[in-house]
Amino acid sequence: MAETHAGRCLCGDVRFETEGAPMWVAHCHCESCRRNNGAALATFAGFQQTQFRYVQGEPRTYVSSPGVRRNFCGRCGTPLTYEADRCPDEVHVHISTLDDPTAFPPTVQVFTAEQIPWLHVDEHVKRYEGMGRED
């Protein structure tokens, strides 16, 4: 039986579960994710849609650019997930919303060309200037 990981927004109105291991865990340095997250970078765990489900509440959705949907709690504003048309079978979960984010160490960094210069992240984690899938 696959391991289940629970997560939630800050206020607890929206709760979700993931099942099994993620396909990848990545730090994203792109400006869009930084602004959405309100931090110097965003860290996501990528799951297949079939591995993810909301178990309480319904998130709100913001279309941040064509083909990109960012889901968040409508009450407290916590960013929850990222979904894009270019990877329709995936949901990217903000690991900070998981009950145990320590279970998801990053293995890659993407959009490092947009990284804030004063931010120093583990240099042993593989880096891609862009998305990583085509680099």
DSSP state of 36: H
98 within some domain: yes
Could you list the residue range(s) of the whole structural domain that residue 78 is in?
A: 4-127
pLDDT above 90 as % of the chain: 91
67 within some domain: yes
CB 64 within 8 A of CB 31: no
Q: What is the CATH number of the domain that holds 65?
A: 2.170.150.70
Residue 74, pLDDT > 70, answer yes
Q: What is the pLDDT of residues 101-134, one digit of tens each?
A: 999 999 999 999 999 999 999 888 999 999 876 5
Distances (CA, A) of 82 to 1, 86, 95, 128: 26, 12, 11, 19
Q: Which residues of 83-108 are buried (b: 16+ CB within 10 A; e: fewer)?
A: bbeebeebbbbbbbbbeebeebebeb
16 within some domain: yes
33 within some domain: yes
62 within some domain: yes
132 within some domain: no
Q: Has this prediction a pTM greater than 0.85? A: yes
* pLDDT reported for residue 2: 81
Dist. CA 35–CA 104, nearest whole Å: 22
- 3-state DSSP helix/strand/coil percent for the chain, to nearest 5? 15, 40, 45
Q: Provide mean pLDDT across the span 29-51.
A: 96
pLDDT range class, residue 45, cuts 50, 70, 90? very high
Mean pLDDT value across the chain:
94
Dist. CA 100–CA 28, nearest whole Å: 19
CB 43 within 8 A of CB 96: yes
* pLDDT reported for residue 90: 97
135 within some domain: no
What DSSP string runs through 55-101?
EES--EEEEEETTEEEEE-TTT--EEEEEETTSTTEEEEEGGGBS-G
52 within some domain: yes
* pLDDT reported for residue 123: 81
CB 43 within 8 A of CB 125: no
Total domain count for the chain? 1
* pLDDT reported for residue 134: 54
